[in-house]
Amino acid sequence: MEILIPLIIVGSIGAFLGLGLGIASKKLFVHVDPRIPMILDVLPNANCGACGYAGCSGFAKAVAEGKAAPNGCIPGGAKCAHAIADLLGVTASAEEPQMAVVHCKGGRKEAAERAIYNGIQDCNAATIIGNGSKICQNGCLGLGTCVRSCPFDAIFINDNGIAEVDPEKCTGCGKCVKSCPRKIISLIPKVHKIFLACSNRDRGAKVKKYCSVGCTACTLCVKATPSGAITMDNNLPVLDYSKEENFITAAYKCPSKCYTDLVKKRSKANIDTNCDGCGLCITVCPVPGAITGEKGKRHVVDKEKCIGCGNCLHICPTHAITLWGTGLQPKQARMA
Amino acid sequence: MNNIANIISISIGAVFINNFILSKFLGLCPFFGVSKKLSSATGMGMAVVFVMAIASSFTWVINRFILIPYDVAYLQTIIFILVIAALVQLVEMALQKYSPSLYEALGIYLPLITTNCAVLGVALINTGVNTFTGEPYTFFESLLNGVMSGVGFMLALLLMAGLREKLEFSNIPKGLEGLPIAFITAGLMALSFLGFAGLNFFSPVGG
Amino acid sequence: MLKEELKRGIITENPLLILVLGLCPSLATSTSVQNGFGMGMAVTFVLACSNVIISIVRKGIPGKVRIPCFIVVIATFVTMVQLLMKSYLPALDKQLGIFVPLIVVNCIILGRAEAYASKNNPLKSLIDGIVMGLGFTASLCILSIIREILGSNKLLGLNFFPGYDPMTVFILAPGGFFTIAAVMALVRYLGNRRKDTKA
């Protein structure tokens, strides 16, 4: 008898709860679209929010409902877009991959400070206190707010104290762009490797006083780009990446070396035996002494001086010039 | 008048003097796991208050009308934990159906709360004796105790989350990063809450 | 093989200091070595027994209800421990108070059931339960020794330092937090040093 009572009590309460849960699971059944877990599987699951939805599960739901396009996941890229499109049975086009760049290279070596900052190591906090410790009011403060915002560990503070993006890891999600209080990070198409590493709005010699690599608005880069892809806006060049322009000449012509080229070794021009010695290539070459030769004789490119801008490829009437090692045609060389 | 004194004594006791986390050490695992961001701390806190309230009421009823009359008080552990697990499961299902937005916000914390010492702890405390009246807890008192203990839990959680968010930006020695500094912070908070120990609004019935 | 398992349970995968499971009872019951040791032994008993039973029935439990099943098994053994303690060790039972029934929601037991016992045979599960319990007991004892000496100037009930006025805060709530912070930081530091010298 003594064993029977607890047995009955535990047994009946257990059965009651089990029954109750069983009934509840039927009545409160929520239909979950079976495609949603499958979509979630192919997503990178970093919950970065670049798609505009609250996390990867939000995006998966929206795609299954047809509200979001399959190529909406930027970090997932083309592979992910096609996988989702296959799951849904539609065709998808991948968006052009982008990467973030920091428009500043004035670090400890180049830029002067007006004070020592000993506060909270956050760019927002430093901006609130008198707009930061650098004299330049637009430059990178190097306190790492963008580093903390990146879900892919693609941005870091380099040895010079400036934020730098790793092109291999960057997926173009745009979180760092939103996190920078000075708004000096932006997204450029991954295929372009040159950008202006300065955000300074001052002009003239006074910029040189506080930053050796600051843009003085000399407009030499604008003049060096006949395609018109660079325009001036409030003392700062603006690069139009939609134009067919590789910006190599502009980067070379800049006297303050404000441009950053992510390609460390560029392919150089090479003149083959088709050359008739007309000398047109020398007229468009931005580097004095890079191409030499007598009239009528085959010209020669100095591989050390050549910057690989490709201007000579288009002007050569006998198509004697190629970019050595790339096999690129002149039209493609414009965007190298 | 005695009733109001009783209510106040239970409430202040549960939230400050006998704070579940900072004095009684109940509910520590989620405390250190969820208190990194203020938003997740708020969600967890509200979920805990809700679960504690219904758990207190159901377990009190079962204890009073089934376990005690049949003299099987030793079954408290098993029955209580079964009831709590089933209740949390039910709440999760109901939330998913009737309030998907709330489910998205709180959903991941509910399974965590099932194995939370705090919920079972408050259920077991309610089977004991109210130190103010000297009598076993009544239904209303145990419900109040459950809700207020949850509020105390949430208070400690919110305070901790606020502090930890600020700690993110400080220079902490390498060995202390993460949990050890969180423990030290909790210890300092416990030290300050110890100041409430002498708080006595009304003297208990019977001197 | 047994030596490796012991090393795993006590040092490399110590449930309290490395896996950070089972915090609630640790801080509450490490006020004296007797309490800490008693709690540790109770947890070891429940862990070993429940691991064996769960491992025996692991094939027969459907996936969706496995957590409630584990909890029922664990709760049974905890009730056993409760009743045994009330009869044979009433003083210890009074000291440990509410934390004896709270062993049922100790994250270590449910965690090992989920991670180990449901996937391995009964003998391995038994050994795993014992070594994990021993690791938990060992870390509890370390905490208790520190807290008892500093907090009440006694060790196992015997007076320790002559003429030392104990810091009562160590046997109260804040002391528990400070002690575990220090021990965890020390363990981390030693672990990092080992990693550095190995690498």
Cα nearest neighbour of B115 on chain C: C105
Q: Chains contacting B with at least 3 CB pairs below 8 Å?
A: A, C
- Average pLDDT on A117-122 reads 83
Residue A1: count of CB within 10 angstroms of its CB: 4
Looking at CA atoms only, how far is residue A41 from chain B in angstroms?
Answer: 19
| DSSP conformation class of B203 | P
Residue of C105, C110, C187 to mutate when probing chain B, most B C-beta within 10 A: C105
State pLDDT tens for residues A14-26: 888 888 888 887 8
Mean pLDDT over A37-56 rounds to 76
Rounded mean pLDDT, A160-186: 89
How confident is the model over A275-296, as a mean pLDDT?
87
**pLDDT (tens digit, 9 = 90+) per residue, C124-136?**
899 989 999 999 9
- Phi/psi for A238 (5° steps) reads -115, 125
Q: Is the pLDDT of residue A195 over 60?
A: yes
Per-residue pLDDT tens over the stretch C58-109? 888 877 677 788 888 999 999 999 999 999 999 999 888 888 998 888 888 8
Q: What is the pLDDT of residue C69?
A: 84
Residue C49 has pLDDT above 90, yes or no: yes
Give the number of other Cβ atoms within 10 Å of residue C19's Cβ: 17
Q: pLDDT tens across B79-125, in order?
A: 898 888 888 888 788 777 877 777 776 666 677 777 778 899 999 98
Q: Tell me what pLDDT residue B151 has.
A: 93
Q: For chains B and C, what is the number of CB pairs under 8 angstroms? A: 113
Work out the pLDDT band at B204, boundaries 50, 70, 90: low
pLDDT at site C83: 92
Q: B206: pLDDT confidence band, cut at 50, 70 and 90?
A: very low
CA–CA gap between residue B122 and residue B127 (Å, rounded): 9
ipTM for the whole complex: 0.82
Q: What is the identity of the amino acid at A260?
A: T
Between CA B159 and CA B190 the distance in angstroms is: 12
Q: Between helices B117-125 and B38-62, what is the axis angle to 10°? A: 40
Nearest CB to C24; choose among B25, B114, B124: B25
| Whole-number Å distance between alpha carbons of A9 and A14 | 8
**Residues in chain B within 8 Å Cβ distance of A29:** 97
pLDDT for C38 equals: 92
Please give the mean pLDDT across all residues of chain B. Answer: 82
Taking 90 as the threshold, does the pLDDT of residue C118 lie above it?
no
The residue that leads in pLDDT, A160 or C152, is A160
Q: Looking at the partner chain, which of B75, B104, B171 has a beta carbon nearest the beta carbon of A6?
A: B75
Q: Which pLDDT value is given to residue B146? A: 92
Three-state DSSP string of chain A: CCCHHHHHHHHHHHHHHHHHHHHHHHHCCCCCCCHHHHHHHHCCCCCCCCCCCCHHHHHHHHHHHCCCCHHHCCCCHHHHHHHHHHHHCCCCCCCCCEEEEECCCCCCCCECECCCCCCCCCHHHHHHCCCCCECCCCCCCCCCHHHHHCCCCCEEECCCCCEEECCCCCCCCCHHHHHCCCCCEEEEECCCCEEECCCCCCCCHHHHHHECCCCCCCCHHHHCCCCCCEEEECCEEEECCCCCCCCHHHHHHCCCCCEEECCCCCCCEEECCCCCCCCHHHHHCCCCCCEECCCCCCCEECCCCCCCCCHHHHHCCCCCEEECCCCCCHHHHCCC
What DSSP element (H or E) covers C176? helix C173-198
Distance CA C183, CA B180 (A): 9
Confidence (pLDDT) at A128 = 83
Residues 6+ apart with CB under 8 A from B2: B133, B205
- Taking the CA atoms of residue B123, residue B125, residue B127 and residue B133 in that order, the dihedral angle to the nearest 10 degrees is -130
Structure tokens at B137: 């807890």
CA–CA distance, A145 with A175 (Å, rounded to integer): 11
Nearest chain A CA: its distance from B187 CA (Å): 24
Strand partners, B129: B136
CA A110 to chain centre: 24
Given a contact cutoff of 8 angstroms between Cβ atoms, the answer to whether A31 and B97 are in contact is no
Residue of A5, A9, A16 to mutate, interface with B, max B Cβ within 10 Å: A9
* Rounded Cα distance, B138 and C82, in Å: 25
pLDDT given for residue A93 in this prediction: 67
CB interface of B with A, residues 34-73, below 8 Å? 62, 66-67, 70-72
What is the structure's pLDDT at C60?
84
Whole-structure pTM value: 0.67
Name the minimum distance, in Å, from the CA of A13 to any CA of chain B.
Answer: 8
The CA-atom distances, in angstroms, between A5 and each of A59, B68, B74, B79 are 54, 12, 12, 14
A126: confidence class by pLDDT, cuts 50, 70, 90? confident
> How many angstroms separate the CA of residue B71 from the nearest CA in chain A?
9
Using pLDDT thresholds of 50, 70 and 90, give the confidence band for residue B51: confident
Instruction: Convert the pLDDT of each residue in B131-172 to its tens digit.
Output: 777 788 888 889 999 999 999 999 999 999 888 888 877 778
Amino acid A94: pLDDT? 65
For residues B185 and A328, the model is more confident at B185
